Structure 1
Amino acid sequence: MNRKLMPIMLFVIEVVMYYFICLYFAMDIELIVGSGILYFLFMFIYGHYSLKTCLIWNEIRQLAKSSFCFYIALLVLVPRSTGYERRMHLTIMVISMFFISLLASRFLRIAFREQFARKTLVIGTGYEAARLGKISNNNRFALTEVKGYVDINYTDQLYGFKQENLIKKSPVYGYCDMDKAIDALNIEQIIIAIPEADQQVIDKVMSDIHGKVESVKYLPDVNGTMTFSSEVQDFDGQLLIATSNDKMSVFDRAFKRIIDIMAGLAGVITLIPLTIFVKYKYVKSGDHDSIFFSQERIGKDGKLIKIYKFRSMVPNAEEVLERLMEEDPAIKEEYLTNKKLKHDPRITPVGDFLRKTSLDEWPQFYNVLKGEMSFIGPRPYLPREKEDMGQFYDSIIKLKPGVTGMWQANGRSDVEFSYRCKLDDYYYHNWSIWLDFTIMYKTVKSVVYGKGSL
């Protein structure tokens, strides 16, 4: 099926629904035609009918912008003499079309994903490449389907990179077999995901794939120097990238604090019955020690704060960890690398339940209410992890640590330590209210589906 049919199908569905909504509210034909032209004009302007691959929260943002602009235009253009009832009808129509457009777009992308998705080949087999493939194939809204990977380690002309264990079911081709992969998989798009490679390698790959597919995308190694606030500028034929590391404005900080207070109040109120429940579970299992656990973590500006959690381990967990690392070199290596143990023997049966449901983090809403933490922010790191945070330390401590954040919403305990730091650094450089909304959505989704623990 031709991919260009999707926006046509979406447009037809929305036109029909728009017309029936207007008829339901008994609007005259002049208003239907005039408002309809204006509505779909804003939809085109904000890229609603674009074939570009985007995630559902990007679609929500585009629809919110177009709907808001359309509504403001209606308030300006529709005379006040039409009356309060007519204006209410217009308001309901805008809200209804927002949800209809979102659901229609989602339905078409999911129902016809197999026909519309770009068949994609990823060049690279490292962590970034594997994560890119996982996001593309697991997100049904995205119109990108990764069919295979190319391991550049299979050629003497290029440098080699470690193949990531996250790549499991997809076929992996050697670099010399790339043309064969393009033909066999009917590849339409190539994504170069080797951010560690130098310019010589990238130039070689670009040269080898030139003209072989419809679209080529490149995943760069930005290291915080380029953000979504950066601008690409044409400087008399020279391509310049203007970086931006904007700090939060007074309004942004005030808005974020209001959200934190609301979340903190809700969290602390629900903490009371939750505490009774957790205490009951521990007593029932024969554990009569304190159910709360406090620990020093790195807060804003490097100041040490004491955070609170429900205890999920045996009471003397730190001493047990030291003993385990002395007795088992494999455990020591795993902990020093990831700062966590995947199968931690110190976790109690009740604690295992708390971690899987992320209820062990709930007492941190008290820290949020106190102003020591934020609802959304970087991970609260341990003081002993400061050295391991490396270059990311200075940017991470400029924000309050959060109950949830980038790394929790992007794999949680499945994400290795160095990548957690990179995600938190990304959050600092790219913070926005919309990013916080996205993290909240993804955190709830990952907790519901039980993917990792906070």
Structure 2
Amino acid sequence: MKENIFAMGLICVEMAFFYLLYFIVDLPSDFYLQLGLLWMIIMLLSQHYKIRSTLVWDEIKSDLKAFIYFVLVAFVFAYPKTNFYLEIVGVGFFMSVFAVFANRMIRILFRNKLSRKTLIIGTGDEAYRIGKIANNNRFALTNVIGFVSTDNQIDNELKEDMRYPIYDYYELNDLLKNHIDQVIIALPEASKEEIDVITRHLFDRVRYIKILPQLNFTMTFNSRIDDFDGELLISTSRGRLGVFGKALKRIIDVCAGLCGCLLLIPLTIYVSKKNKKSGDTAPIFFKQKRIGENGKDIYIYKYRSMEPNAEKVLEELMKKDPAIKKEYLTNKKLVNDPRITEVGHFLRKTSLDEFPQFINVLKGEMSLVGPRPYLPREKDDMDIYYHSIIKCKPGITGMWQANGRSDVGFIDRCKLDDYYYKNWSIGLDIIIVYKTIKSVIYGKGAL
């Protein structure tokens, strides 16, 4: 009931804004009223006014599609009045932007009333990640009030996060009496029988039950669920770049490469001066062999952030210190790397050391967004993910940089890059670029 009230409020706010646009856009009043009705119908069909728990990225994609449909249909209406096309695009664009803004503000202002009180059953790293996403994304109407443990394995970060209480499973009955709206079962390793026991326990006691399934490398968001005469079948699918997708991605890469190379000029002068000031007179650029598209060798350009003979120094460090050797062989990097120069620390923290890779983007060897450019010696460690990762051009940024950067372990980076290959879209690229910029600004997971 409360969702319907706020949905009506959202409709009223958007229609008021639509009416205000009338005084700015020069359109006949009868035609403008038709556009208003068309906009409301399209947004209703796209479920924009359904106050549900989702992420802002999904809302943006949905509203962008609504904008395209609105413009296409409105153009048909405006066919006899050919001078209205620009006005229609303008109205659709501003309404789309305002729709996201209004929806977000209502969710933030009335989050306490709209959000679902949620328990997460599970205390592993996947469960904790779901909790963080739910509570850190203010657009999502999910209020995680605690985690329920089914065993003694509790994620270390969850233990240290004082925001979330951790309950034992035997306390679940008492917890469900506190008007819990939703339970998320985040036990991907649990057996079917274990999940059945928990869901029977929850049956008819909470309104929403969500389950985090156990996935393997064949499952993607492009997988399809089929009703096979009462049997649920999941069809595997791999989202490959088509001809149009490759062309569009290349156009974006060329534009980004040109802009990046122009910014590279003043940045190179700045880095050169900083190096000389610290007494470092060695070349500021270096190139390194990496694995490119289809497994071909490419040489990527970077600002040098380490000593000139970094590889030799690493070999000596690993010979002298077994702990350093173990850390590097496990994560393919050192947290406190003694080879990094004074200026190198700044370059890595701000990710400016990656900037010369815009040259590789312009040359067509790399993309703005893509998998990490892996070293040839890491090929065996990439395991089964190697074959999917090399189907894409490596990127300046990618899934792993946008999801924790250096805080992500090596095999998890491979999984994220495999996910990118199988779920690529322009929308995903935009989200990755945004999250990367946000990570750099806040210095999260700096290299």
Give the superposition deviation at 1:191. 1.4
Q: Tell me if structure 2 keeps the 8 A contact 1:131–1:166.
A: no
Amino acid at match of 2:396: V
CA–CA distance in structure 2, aligned partners of residues 206 and 334 of structure 1: 41
Amino acid at match of 2:124: G
CA–CA distance in structure 1, aligned partners of residues 235 and 264 of structure 2: 46
Which residue in the other structure is 2:49 paired with? 49
Once the two structures are superposed, the pairs formed by residues 270-285 of structure 1 within 5 Å of their partners are 270-285=263-278
Which residue in the other structure is 2:180 paired with? 187
Q: Tell me if structure 1 keeps the 8 A contact 2:123–2:158.
A: no
Which residue in the other structure is 1:126 paired with? 124
Once the two structures are superposed, the pairs formed by residues 182-221 of structure 1 within 5 Å of their partners are 182-183=176-177, 186-221=179-214
Once the two structures are superposed, the pairs formed by residues 55-454 of structure 1 within 5 Å of their partners are 55-81=55-81, 84=83, 86-154=84-152, 161-166=153-158, 168-169=161-162, 170-183=164-177, 186-453=179-446
Gaps of 5+ in 2: none
CA–CA distance in structure 1, aligned partners of residues 4 and 39 of structure 2: 21
Give the superposition deviation at 1:171. 1.2
Q: 1:9 to 1:333 in 2, by over 3 A?
A: farther
Gaps of 5+ in 1: 155-160
Give the superposition deviation at 1:209. 2.4
Give the superposition deviation at 1:79. 4.7
SS in 2 for 1:165: helix
Give the superposition deviation at 1:89. 3.3
Q: Tell me if structure 2 keeps the 8 A contact 1:389–1:421.
A: yes
Give the superposition deviation at 1:279. 1.0
CA–CA distance in structure 2, aligned partners of residues 55 and 137 of structure 1: 11
Give the superposition deviation at 1:104. 0.7
Q: Tell me if structure 2 keeps the 8 A contact 1:406–1:423.
A: yes
What are the superposed Cα offsets for residues 62-99 of structure 1, whole Å, 9 maximum, x if unpaired?
11111221121111123524x62x44433322222112
Amino acid at match of 1:137: N
Out of 348-357 and 162-171, give the one that drifted further. 162-171
Out of 175-184 and 9-18, give the one that drifted further. 175-184
Out of 122-131 and 313-322, give the one that drifted further. 313-322
CA–CA distance in structure 2, aligned partners of residues 182 and 296 of structure 1: 56
Q: 1:334 to 1:188 in 2, by over 3 A?
A: farther
Q: TM-score, structure 1 length as denominator? A: 0.92
Amino acid at match of 1:133: G
Q: Tell me if structure 1 keeps the 8 A contact 2:239–2:421.
A: no
Q: 1:332 to 1:122 in 2, by over 3 A?
A: farther
Q: Tell me if structure 1 keeps the 8 A contact 2:370–2:395.
A: yes
Give the superposition deviation at 1:451. 1.3
Give the superposition deviation at 1:52. 2.4
Amino acid at match of 1:414: D
CA–CA distance in structure 2, aligned partners of residues 339 and 18 of structure 1: 54
Work out the percentage of aligned pairs sharing the same amino acid. 52
CA–CA distance in structure 1, aligned partners of residues 388 and 202 of structure 2: 37
Q: 1:24 to 1:289 in 2, by over 3 A?
A: closer
CA–CA distance in structure 1, aligned partners of residues 364 and 28 of structure 2: 54
Amino acid at match of 1:179: N
